[in-house]
Amino acid sequence: MASFIEMLNDRWRGNKTALCIGLDPEWEKVRSITGFQEPGEGLFKFCRAIVKETHTLVCAYKPNLAFFACHGPAGIEALHRLTEFIHLEYTGIPVILDAKLGDIGNTSKCYAEMAFGYFKADAVTLSPYLGGDALQPFLDYQDKGCIILCRTSNPGVAETQSAIDFVDGCVPREYTPYYKYIAHLVANKWNKNGNCGVVVGATAPDELKEVRQIVREMPILIPGIGAQGGDLVKTVAAGRAETSDGMIINISRAVVFAKPVGDEKYYQAAERAAREYCQAINDCLTQS
């Protein structure tokens, strides 16, 4: 079976797409749109319909664990069924489990087994706060992607990721603020198996450009376009790699809950929105 990086390269170059659809199925919206009454079955069928309509347009899917796990065993099983469905029906499309995991070694080992064993995700998002030993159980899966939080798209990043002051001598000055130091660690210490990527939000194109210069050709997962208001033109110009696209541009609500036009069904609206974003990204790549 192909590795996560190989799958990404195939989708980038073969399918000409850097679009990732984030599957964040807010249950109350799903229920109002579809009429489903039971979360487990409803979440699976809703996401399955989105995938069926958009699979030719994406480089990856990114289901968020929280939107499934909050419904208990039924939600967990829905996510398991969804990843299984994508792998069986659309071989070659990677699934990124958005869980932001990271804990002490033996706990991380169990989390890695959950992500890559039970859910069979091709990649997982990870928190670097506990350091490299907490990430190591994930990094050891050489064919799986480890996408590490670097500079996220939420407003609160100024409290932590943009911090500049460190203990003297702890961090080289050229790698501050903190998000630049994380990018440095990922690129120069943690990526020994060539299976790492980073998360940088589209809401910070200047910081995205800085991170790209540090991580070079490494994949960057970029949330923040669409509902969060990131600028697509600036994002592509700042985030693309020199020799390949290098970007996993995530759109969630703006696709999954796209408003139908005319006689469209919800999944048709999602396909139209995904197609428009895919084309817009490719247009930006051509122009930049």
pLDDT at 71: 98
Q: What is the mean pLDDT of residues 192-216?
A: 95
Distance CA 22, CA 71 (A): 18
Q: What is the mean pLDDT of residues 207-225?
A: 95
pLDDT at 175: 63
Query: Where is average pLDDT lowest: 131-140, 210-219, 234-243?
Result: 234-243
Does position 13 have pLDDT exceeding 80, yes or no? yes
pLDDT at 244: 65
Q: How confident is the model at residue 256 (pLDDT cuts 50, 70, 90)?
A: very high
Burial 168-177 (b: 16+ CB within 10 A, else e): eeebeeebbb
pLDDT at 169: 54
pLDDT at 81: 98
Predicted TM-score (pTM) of the model is: 0.94
| Residue 165 burial (10 A CB sphere; 0-12, 13-18, 19+) | exposed
Q: What is the mean pLDDT of residues 120-133?
A: 96
pLDDT at 152: 75
Does position 35 have pLDDT exceeding 90, yes or no? yes
Domains of the chain (ranges; CATH) run: 4-287 (3.20.20.70)
Distance CA 109, CA 107 (A): 5
Active-site residue (options: 62, 100, 144, 180): 100
Q: Please indicate whether residue 62 is annotated as part of the active site.
A: no
Distance CA 228, CA 153 (A): 8
- Length of the chain as a residue count: 288
pLDDT at 105: 81
Name the DSSP class of 202.
T
Strands, E assignment, the chain: 19-23, 60-63, 96-101, 123-126, 145-151, 196-200, 220-222, 247-251
Does position 270 have pLDDT exceeding 60, yes or no? yes
Spatial CA neighbour of 60 closest among 251, 269, 193, 259: 251
Spatial CA neighbour of 23 closest among 70, 76, 67, 55: 67
Neighbour order of strands in the sheet with 96-101: 60-63, 19-23, 247-251, 220-222, 196-200, 145-151, 123-126, 96-101
Does position 40 have pLDDT exceeding 60, yes or no? yes
Distance CA 267, CA 283 (A): 24
Average pLDDT, the chain: 92
Spatial CA neighbour of 58 closest among 97, 30, 92: 92
Distance CA 212, CA 34 (A): 41
Q: Is the dihedral of CA 237, 275, 248, 41 positive or negative?
A: positive
Give CA angle at 183 (180, 189), nearest 5°.
Answer: 130
Q: What is the mean pLDDT of residues 53-60?
A: 98
Q: How confident is the model at residue 4 (pLDDT cuts 50, 70, 90)?
A: very high
pLDDT digits (tens, 9 = 90+) for 151-196: 876 665 555 555 555 555 555 666 667 889 899 999 999 999 999 9
